[in-house]
Structure 1
Amino acid sequence: MGWENRADDDPEGDRPGDVVRSLAELNAAAAVCAAQFPTIGLIWWAGTQQGDDYGGSYGFLYVLALAVVVLVTPLVMPFVGFAHAVAHIVPAGHLARVTARHVRGPTWAWHLVYAGALAVVWAAVTALLWSWPFLITATVLAALGVLPVLGLGHLRRRARVTGRPQGFWAVWLPSLFASVTLFLLVFVGGLLATVVGLVGYQAPALSAGQLTGLWRGADGAALRLDPGGKAELTKLPTESESESESGDWFADPPYTVCEGTGNWSTGRIGDRDAVVVRLDSGCGRQTYWKIGGTEGAPELFAQFGAPDAAEVFVLVRG
């Protein structure tokens, strides 16, 4: 018999096959839940990369970390899917079946309703215990329940057609193929969107007037840019003479801390607009402070040392 044959007629637990049906449904729910998590992880990671990386390069360690994640994900995915199924999808399905016996409407529709309701419950729990934002958490959890509920409904229909529950590999192999396919589609789509400029970080464009004012950094560093092109420095890291002339990127530290007055102008280095600061005294050399951050919270930053391991200093509005 299928998972839900006579499910609307008999009380839970009255049939000997209930245990088998429940285990089969739990297995199927875990498989469907697991299929979406690699793609969700990719989307989350892509979202974290939308901010300013200050021109950094991840290099070999980044590639190695990504390779480890790809290799480990298939091992972790079943456990994550099982946890999601036990805490969210399976309880919602049980409530949906009980409701469908007494109220009109398809079981899958009630399953979606209860999945959304449990998302609200878990969002409230996380808000109380860990101060997670309630509305965002509830929305995300509710969205995570849609694909498993619809996928589980599809597997139930197949079980009714074949007359028996789907076996272990009958649900996990399609889950694996679906997971890989969905992951690749999102990955390739993200690459294309990045290439054409639909997504990705864009540094703010600031006029000379917007750049004027006080900018502060760590350890008391400050840079005041006056409208007339004058600059005043306080404990500000500046490109050192040794690094500029000898290429000694490995000096400790790879910069010179300077104070005094000078002048500034707008410029460009690489793909970034920048503020070029020149001192009147002999301390350090002219330094390019690149423009970063966002339109609402602009930043100036400079990099000192080897390009693949540069020390970055950031200045924000004072």
Structure 2
Amino acid sequence: MGWAGVRHGVGPRRAWPESVAAVAAGAAQLPAVFALLFWQALAADRYGVGYGPAFGLLCLFLFAPVLLPVLGLLHAGAQILPGAVVADVVLCRVPWPLWARRLLGVTLVGAVWAVVGAVWAGMYFPATAACLAALGVLPVLAMEYARVRPTGSRGLWWRAAGASVVLFVLALVAGPLATAAGLVEEYEPPPLSAERVAGVWRGEDGAVLKLLPGGRAELTRMPVDPGVRATADLVVCDGAGSWRLEPGRVRDGVAVRLAAAEAGEADEAGEEDGCRGETVWSSGGTERSPELFVFFGDPDASSPWVLTRDP
């Protein structure tokens, strides 16, 4: 903003409100962005975690007064203010209004960051560039407002706070409406059949589950539900047993149980070894790449065990 102020004859006192407006507007839009990301994650949920991500929104509310201004400052410093400098210095001869040139400059800087994300993190460039361009609209308009109608920093932050509440409420309403209208594609687990399930499924740490035609199963280093939902310990078992399909309203599943003769010597020892518990693996993945998964313990506090089918 310093170069832009010198070029247009605007001193630091005039440029400062525009910088504050960029930071405040960038922070104000983040709760709505997080709410939209929450709805998108809920629609794309492959493992039925449900409303577990809502805990993240609760944390956002608790830490918003400290977290949002910092994130707004980082956003402004990385994209908005450099984009304004590009517009005021490099694009000064483009016969557009100042706000339009700044929006173009912010978009160009966002495209540079999208290239960085594509190279270093494998992000999809068009979607990343489009999202960064969209995140630059409100801060650029706020800078134009501060330029045309100068006001104090406190007034800018109060206006940003009010706009943030409005945007957040709109995002909470728009998310489920967009999902209901089909604008956001909702994940649907593939249905299971005996033909699709039969085969060899593999997981982490050498886990192998062979589901044979006729309902026979062979387990190698397979985790088994010990029957205690809150436990953090897994029971890993080997042996032969049986399986059957478990149709469901949302997800189909496969129930796997070790045969009593293969469950170890629990009866002779007089103790339960946990391997004879029945574990229901739910359908996940896609039609082309099916998965079976199960949660041990609280789904909100653990990751799923996932099995993938051999081709």
- TM (norm. structure 1) is 0.75
Assess if the C-alpha contact under 8 Å between 2:17 and 2:146 holds in 1: no
Q: Output aligned runs, 1:1-318, within 5 Å.
A: 12=6, 15=9, 18-49=11-42, 50-54=44-48, 58=52, 66-98=57-89, 102-126=93-117, 130-133=120-123, 135=125, 136-157=127-148, 159=149, 165-191=150-176, 201-239=187-225, 243=227, 253=233, 255=235, 257-260=237-240, 262-268=241-247, 271-282=250-261, 283=263, 284-304=276-296, 313-318=305-310
Paired residue secondary structure (2:6)? coil
CA distance in 2, matches of 1:225, 1:211: 7
CA distance in 1, matches of 2:259, 2:288: 32
Assess if the C-alpha contact under 8 Å between 1:269 and 1:288 holds in 2: no
1:229-286 C-alpha deviation (Å, 9 max, x unpaired) = 333222333455xx4xxxx5567856461312x4432123675311133444432154
* Deviation of the 1:195 alpha carbon: 7.5
Assess if the C-alpha contact under 8 Å between 1:32 and 1:81 holds in 2: yes
* Deviation of the 1:71 alpha carbon: 2.0
- Structure 2 alignment gaps of length 5 or more: 264-275
CA distance in 2, matches of 1:179, 1:140: 18
Amino acid aligned to 1:181: V
Size of the aligned set, in residue pairs, is: 291
Assess if the C-alpha contact under 8 Å between 2:219 and 2:237 holds in 1: no
CA separation of 1:56/1:298 partners in 2, compared to 1, >3 Å: closer, same or farther?
Answer: same
* Deviation of the 1:70 alpha carbon: 0.6
CA separation of 1:73/1:233 partners in 2, compared to 1, >3 Å: closer, same or farther?
Answer: same
CA distance in 2, matches of 1:305, 1:208: 28
* Deviation of the 1:81 alpha carbon: 1.9
The structure with the larger Rg is 1
CA separation of 1:204/1:99 partners in 2, compared to 1, >3 Å: closer, same or farther?
Answer: same
* Deviation of the 1:23 alpha carbon: 0.9
Amino acid aligned to 1:104: P
CA separation of 1:13/1:189 partners in 2, compared to 1, >3 Å: closer, same or farther?
Answer: closer
* Deviation of the 1:90 alpha carbon: 2.5
Assess if the C-alpha contact under 8 Å between 2:17 and 2:147 holds in 1: no
Assess if the C-alpha contact under 8 Å between 1:100 and 1:106 holds in 2: no
Assess if the C-alpha contact under 8 Å between 1:302 and 1:312 holds in 2: yes
Paired residue secondary structure (2:81)? helix
Amino acid aligned to 1:150: L
Superposed CA RMSD:
3.5
CA distance in 2, matches of 1:131, 1:305: 32
Seq. identity, %: 37
CA distance in 2, matches of 1:100, 1:302: 55
Assess if the C-alpha contact under 8 Å between 1:92 and 1:118 holds in 2: yes
* Deviation of the 1:48 alpha carbon: 4.0
Paired residue secondary structure (1:12)? helix
Paired residue secondary structure (1:232)? strand
CA distance in 1, matches of 2:152, 2:232: 63
- Structure 1 alignment gaps of length 5 or more: 1-7, 160-164
- TM (norm. structure 2) is 0.76
CA separation of 1:309/1:120 partners in 2, compared to 1, >3 Å: closer, same or farther?
Answer: closer
Amino acid aligned to 1:12: V
CA distance in 1, matches of 2:292, 2:8: 70
Amino acid aligned to 2:255: V
Paired residue secondary structure (1:179)? helix
